[in-house]
């Protein structure tokens, strides 16, 4: 009986899959095209008067999103560990039109500090409309070259738990405002590129977690997942956890990793993200070349595996991996954004938040 029951379910699942491919996808493409052309352009959330908390706002994508929300008239709560960098971003956000900016020094991988960042925001503004869970760190090294494996728990702590903790404490307030959750996953969440095992795993965890949350929340709170590719930021300047488990800038490792892949402008990426967030899109993928890449990764993961091995392994022929040799041979580094081409690159230095006391607020 058990076997028959299982067989019925298996047949049913295959029938459902066939119907999805043959009927649902062709029809939904037409509906999506119609929505994209005639409905979505009209659906733009007004951000003036809204309160937005952004984690990882001291540099890169979080900083740029802060400016774009500010220019739309949103009030901000900016969270990160570097105090001076956050203060400068806050001042620039005020200049661009944010009526009020709250600066919150916190380590989002700490549940208590995340909770206090949300509480300070509610105490100050009385509400929260968007949570942008953006803070993250990168790692670029082959798994079998790691010399300090236990240090790599930090990737999951910041990228996964550092999104989950603020989300947990913000959710009641987002439900009250019928607000939005915006989370930074990555194209790495679906495309398993070599040398980024922990980063890829953390971004896949983020992707699946927030897709599950979306299924639980329905229309109560919108969930927009950003699945972008390489974008100019301190991360793509080479700031990453290296094989010894230390977070430092290594331009050589960055060059090997990025190879001839394009690195997009952070301003352009955030403009596309803002459009998607305001329309309530489920996913924002930019540049759009990552959409077909994600499709290939889903339908034929072995192709991604083969190409990734060919590009990044150092076993064949010795010396630098093909990705780096291709970068040098084509001179494609000249297409990197200007900030990434400097040698050495300029990273914002600041005292990291070493006081584990938690959140210190200023505005
Ligand atoms: N750049 C890309 O190519 C790319 C592509 C796909 C996805 N992403 C994702 O985009 C997000 C933003 O990264 P980015 O590219 O803008 O890099 P970035 O310039 O290095 O910014 C990372 C931000 O995260 C903050 N942060 C790191 N650890 C933190 C912690 N424990 N607590 C609080 N804040 C912390 C950093 O601030 P402090 O150091 O001051 O704390 C900084 O503001 C990340 O989630 C990243 O994975 C980036």
Confidence at residue 354, expressed as pLDDT on a 0 to 100 scale: 46
Close Cβ partners of 234 (under 8 Å, ≥ 6 residues apart):
59, 60, 249, 347, 348
Range of the domain at 225: 43-347
Q: Is the pLDDT of residue 331 over 50?
A: yes
Distance CA 170, CA 162 (A): 13
- What is the whole-number distance in angstroms between the Cα of residue 244 and the centre of ligand 1? 20
Output the CA angle 285-174-97, nearest 5 degrees: 70
Q: Best mutation site among 58, 60, 108 for ligand 1, i.e. most ligand atoms within 8 A of its Cβ?
A: 60
pLDDT digits (tens, 9 = 90+) for 250-292: 999 999 999 999 999 999 999 999 999 999 999 999 999 999 9
**Position 130 in a domain:** yes
Give domain status of residue 362, yes or no: no
Provide the terminal-to-terminal Cα distance of the chain, rounded to the nearest Å. 67
Q: Is residue 1 part of a domain?
A: no
Does any domain span residue 197?
A: yes
pLDDT band (50, 70, 90) for residue 40: confident
CB 165 within 8 A of CB 115: yes
Ligand 1 pocket residue status of 108, Cβ below 6 Å: yes
What was the pLDDT predicted at 21?
Answer: 92
CA of 316 to the centre of ligand 1 (A): 34
Does the structure show a pLDDT above 90 at 74?
Answer: yes
> Does the pLDDT of residue 169 top 60, yes or no?
yes
Residue with tokens 């409309």: 129
Q: Is the pLDDT of residue 91 over 50?
A: yes
Return the closest-CA partner of residue 308 out of 209, 187, 204: 187
HSE-CB at 130 with a 13 A cutoff on CA atoms is 30
What pLDDT is recorded for position 314? 82
Does residue 95 sit within a domain? yes
- Asked if 32 and 291 count as a contact pair (C-beta separation under 8 A), the reply is no
Ligand 1 pocket residue status of 58, Cβ below 6 Å: yes
- The structural domain count of the chain equals 1
- Residue 23 belongs to some domain of the structure: no
The DSSP 8-state label assigned to residue 320 in this structure reads: S
Instruction: List the structure tokens of 338.
Output: 């200007």
Q: Which pLDDT belongs to residue 356? A: 42
Q: Which atom of ligand 1 is nearest to the CA of 184?
A: 45
Query: Is residue 34 pLDDT above 70, yes or no?
Result: yes
Report the C-alpha gap between 91 and 102 in whole angstroms. 10
Give the integer Cα–Cα distance in Å for 230 and 332: 14
Nearest CA to ligand 1 atom 34: 80
Q: Give me the active site residues, please.
A: 199
pLDDT at 68 over 70: yes
29 membership: H or E segment, kind and range: helix 25-34
Model confidence, pTM: 0.94
Looking up residue 70, the CATH number of its domain turns out to be 3.40.50.720
Q: Which two tokens stand for residue 125?
A: 């503004």
Backbone angles phi, psi at 96, to 5 degrees: -85, 0
321 inside domain: yes
Q: Which residue has the higher pLDDT, 171 or 35?
A: 171
Residues 334-360: tens digit of each pLDDT: 999 999 999 899 999 875 444 444 455
Q: Measured in angstroms, how far is the CA atom of residue 59 from the centroid of ligand 1?
A: 7
The residues pairing with 52 across neighbouring beta strands, listed in sequence order, are 76, 130
pLDDT band at 243 (very low <50, low <70, confident <90, very high): very high
Is 29 inside any structural domain?
no
pLDDT at 43: 85
């Amino acid at each position: 009986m058990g076997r028959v029951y299982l067989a019925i379910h298996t047949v049913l699942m295959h029938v459902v899959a066939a119907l999805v491919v043959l009927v649902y996808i062709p029809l939904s493409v037409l509906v999506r095209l119609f929505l994209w052309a005639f409905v979505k352009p009209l659906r733009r959330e007004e951000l003036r008067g809204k309160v937005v908390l952004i984690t990882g706002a001291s540099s890169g994508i979080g900083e740029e999103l802060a400016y774009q929300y500010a220019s739309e008239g949103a009030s901000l709560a900016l969270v990160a560990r570097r105090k001076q960098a956050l203060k400068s971003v806050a001042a620039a956000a005020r200049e661009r039109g944010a009526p009020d900016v709250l600066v919150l020094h916190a380590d989002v991988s700490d549940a208590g500090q995340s909770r206090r960042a949300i509480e300070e925001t509610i105490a100050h503004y009385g509400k929260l409309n968007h949570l942008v869970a953006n803070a993250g760190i990168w790692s670029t090294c082959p798994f079998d070259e790691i010399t300090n494996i236990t240090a790599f728990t930090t990737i999951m702590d910041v990228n996964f738990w550092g999104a989950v903790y603020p989300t947990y404490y913000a959710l009641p307030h987002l439900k009250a405002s019928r607000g939005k959750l915006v989370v930074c996953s990555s194209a790495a969440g679906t495309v398993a590129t070599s040398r980024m095992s922990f980063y890829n795993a953390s971004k896949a965890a983020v992707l699946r977690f927030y897709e599950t949350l979306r299924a639980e929340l329905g229309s109560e709170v919108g969930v927009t997942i950003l699945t972008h590719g390489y974008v100019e930021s301190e991360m793509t300047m080479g700031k990453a956890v290296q094989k010894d488990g230390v977070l430092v800038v290594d331009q050589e490792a960055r060059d090997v990793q990025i190879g001839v892949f394009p690195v997009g402008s952070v301003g352009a990426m955030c403009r596309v993200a803002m459009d998607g967030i305001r329309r309530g899109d489920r996913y924002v993928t930019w540049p759009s070349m990552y959409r077909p890449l994600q499709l290939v990764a889903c339908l034929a993961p072995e192709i991604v595996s083969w190409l990734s091995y060919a590009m990044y392994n150092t076993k064949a022929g010795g010396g630098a991996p093909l990705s780096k040799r291709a970068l040098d041979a084509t001179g494609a580094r000249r297409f990197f954004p200007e900030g990434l081409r400097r040698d050495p690159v300029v990273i914002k230095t600041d005292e990291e938040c070493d006081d584990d006391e938690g959140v210190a607020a200023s505005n």
